[in-house]
Structure 1
Amino acid sequence: MRLPALLFAVCSVLLLASTCRPDTATSVQQQQLNLLTRTWLHAHEEDQGDVLVYRPNTYNFPPSRGRTGMAFDQNGLFTQYDIAPTDGVQGRKGQWMVMDEHTLRITLDDKQDPAYLLEIVSLDNNLLKVRRK
């Protein structure tokens, strides 16, 4: 009678332990989100057709009259950086939301432009390639 109870206890502990492991897919998605959440500036010199290339704002860019960009915060806040009239940078606040594994929906608070989708073509620590839809 003790053997079935012991076997049940061991199986229960193993089942519980197996559910405590982080899901690999979720872990990878979280790593990608961590890479994304920063400020990215447009490296227009590196664009490839309809694929726009962005680098972290700490990247050593060649001289340019101004760079557009975007910032993703972990809480879903988004800032789109446009070139201001004096070649400075003007930020427009909004939100970003994950639509699927490779697509983000961007909505700007000022509603000057309609919401748009960004397809993430590739993402690593120093490079973000997107396609605007």
Structure 2
Amino acid sequence: MPDISPDLFQRWYRSFEEDTDDQAVYRPGDYPFPPSRAPRPSLEFRPGGGFVEYTAGPADRAVPSRGSWEAAEGDGVRVRGDAGSRTLRIVAHDAQVLRIRK
């Protein structure tokens, strides 16, 4: 199971500018992102297993999709929601950055 620290329990915004070929990078909301025309996709992990994924919707507003998360084998976090379930492979996380394998 991955080492889940309380740092994970917040809303994380996609930082496309920092993505690599094999990692998607997310930052907290207070990170100084450059301007973006559309809302940034984001993930929110809540203590107790709550999960919300935000995607761009009509009128360029973030649309929430609620679900749950649980620790999975290895470096994984299994998320379940309206779009089904998948395992996110966490490469690293602390209070300032969340890196997920693409």
TM-score in terms of structure 1 length: 0.70
Report the counterpart of residue 90 of structure 1 in structure 2: 63
Higher normalized contact order (CA 8 Å, seq sep 6+, divided by chain length)? 2
Q: Give the structure with higher Rg (CA).
A: 1
1:45 counterpart = 2:54: no
Unmatched 5+ residue regions in structure 2?
A: none
Q: Secondary structure at the match of 2:5?
A: helix
Q: CA deviation at 1:50?
A: 2.8
Report the counterpart of residue 77 of structure 2 in structure 1: 104
Q: Deviation digits for residues 22-54 of structure 1, max 9, x if unmatched?
A: xxxxxxx4xx42010100000011110131000
Q: CA deviation at 1:101?
A: 4.5
More helix per residue: 1 or 2? Answer: 1
1:121 counterpart = 2:91: yes
Q: Deviation digits for residues 66-114 of structure 1, max 9, x if unmatched?
A: 2000100011000001011211111100000001341100100x2xx23
Unmatched 5+ residue regions in structure 1?
A: 1-28
Identity %: 33
Q: Secondary structure at the match of 1:80?
A: strand
- Structure 1: which amino acid aligns with 2:91? V
More strand per residue: 1 or 2? Answer: 2
* Regions of 4+ moved over 2 Å: none
From 75, 80, 85, the equivalent of 2:53 is 80
